[in-house]
Amino acid sequence: MRNLLLTLSYDGSAYHGWQVQENARTVQEVFQQALFAATGRREDLKACSRTDTGVHARSFCVSLLTESPFPPERLTAALNHYLPPDIAVKSCREVPLSFHARYSCRGKEYVYRIWNHPVRDPFLVGRALHYWYPIDAALLDRAAGFFVGTHDFTSFCTLDRRDPGDLTRTVTHARVARQGDLVEFTVAADGFLYNMVRIMVGTLLRVQQGKLTPQDIPGILAARDRARAGPTAPACGLYLNQVFYDL
């Protein structure tokens, strides 16, 4: 038995997130089909997280317990042969049997991309939020700084039927930067709640609109009230950018 760590990237536009669902096409389903085509085995997969419908990943990690004799480099090539063009395996390597893509993760980094121009960019449709009003990236960067630290992020979480558990997370960096007409919000933490990054973005855009100030962020966090934060930004601009492990 071997344990393999595979790193994928994918455009999530055509998928209902990572996790297998009934009557919906997901990245996991397509990946498992490619894996069976490549190895003839139905393997036990562990993913680093669940991305939502329309969310993308530049670095999505999966651990795979297998008895397949495939060398990692050959498995990478075989999987990419069977996968569609919007999903790719970037790397594959052997890791200790105790490694788990989700539970061994010590943090993640997300990027949210905003196309800030009066005219849409056809090449970014489904891959960035089109926001045509001017954005002051320096103002939003100051607001984003208030997310850094250990906080209860109840105000920045969509609660569903799942047990919410502990809603405290530690954000290690949060920044907004502009590159031409593209504005990016980058945030890293030891973990993220459901829709947390998208609600952060919606709240930052409320700051841009003058409905909130950067100094309002601590009060929103302290309120532990979802209604105090901004709306949930669309999924199209969100990318899982990095996953951190002690390997």
Residues labelled catalytic: 52
DSSP state of 52: P
Count other Cβ atoms within 10 Å, centred on residue 205. Answer: 21
Q: Which residues contact 236 (CB under 8 A, 6 or more apart)?
A: 13, 54, 126, 127, 128, 129
The dihedral over CA atoms of 143, 148, 154, 155, expressed in degrees to the nearest 10, equals 0
- The b-or-e profile of 30-64 (16+ CB within 10 A means b, else e) is bbeebbeebbeeeeebbbbbebbebbbbbbbbbbb
CA distance 158 to 167: 11
Say how many Å lie between the first and final Cα of the chain, rounded: 19
Q: Nearest-5° angle of CA 32, CA 57, CA 106? A: 95
3-state secondary structure of 174: strand
